[in-house]
Amino acid sequence: MKKVFAHRGMSALAPENTLAAFSMCKQYGIQWIECDVDILADGTVVLSHDDTLDRCTDRCGSLYDLTLSDLSDIDAGSWFHDDFIGERIPTFEQLVTLANEHELNLNVEIKSCTAGWEMTDKLLTNVIRDLEKLNPERELIVSSFNHLALAEFKRRRPETAVACLFEDANLWDDWCSILEACQAEYIHPEDVNLTKEKVQQFKAAGYKINVYTVNDLARANQLFNWGVDGVFTDIANQFPSKYKK
pLDDT by residue for the chain (245 residues), tens only, comes to 899 999 999 999 999 999 999 999 999 999 999 999 999 999 999 999 999 999 999 999 999 999 999 999 999 999 999 999 999 999 999 999 999 999 999 999 999 889 999 999 999 999 999 999 999 999 999 999 999 999 999 999 999 999 999 999 999 999 999 999 999 999 999 999 999 999 999 999 999 999 999 999 999 999 999 999 999 999 999 998 887 66
- What is the C-alpha separation between 74 and 64, in angstroms, rounded? 14
In a domain, 234, yes or no: yes
Q: Check: CB of residue 194 under 8 Å from CB of residue 138.
A: no
Tell me what pLDDT residue 145 has.
98
* Phi and psi angles of residue 36, each rounded to the nearest 5 degrees, phi first: -110, 135
- Per DSSP bridges, beta strands 32-39 and 45-47 are antiparallel
In a domain, 76, yes or no: no
In a domain, 64, yes or no: no
Could you say which of 7, 102, 147, 188 is catalytic? Answer: 7
- What is the C-alpha separation between 178 and 134, in angstroms, rounded? 28
In a domain, 217, yes or no: yes
Ramachandran bin of 17, using left for φ above 0, alpha for ψ from -120 to 50, beta for the remaining angles: left
| E strand spans, the chain | 3-7, 32-39, 45-47, 105-110, 140-144, 161-166, 186-189, 208-211, 230-233
Tell me what pLDDT residue 52 has.
97
Structural domain of 104: 3-41+91-243
Which pTM does this prediction carry? 0.97
Find the CATH number of the domain harbouring 225.
3.20.20.190
7 included as an active-site residue: yes
Distances (CA, A) of 91 to 35, 54, 72, 167, 169: 11, 18, 11, 27, 31
In a domain, 77, yes or no: no
In a domain, 226, yes or no: yes
- What is the C-alpha separation between 230 and 144, in angstroms, rounded? 17
49 included as an active-site residue: yes
Question: Quick one: DSSP state of residue 91?
Answer: B
* Phi and psi angles of residue 165, each rounded to the nearest 5 degrees, phi first: -90, 140
In a domain, 83, yes or no: no
Distances (CA, A) of 104 to 29, 136, 155, 214: 10, 12, 25, 20
Number of folded domains that form the chain: 1
| 3-class secondary-structure state, position 176 | helix
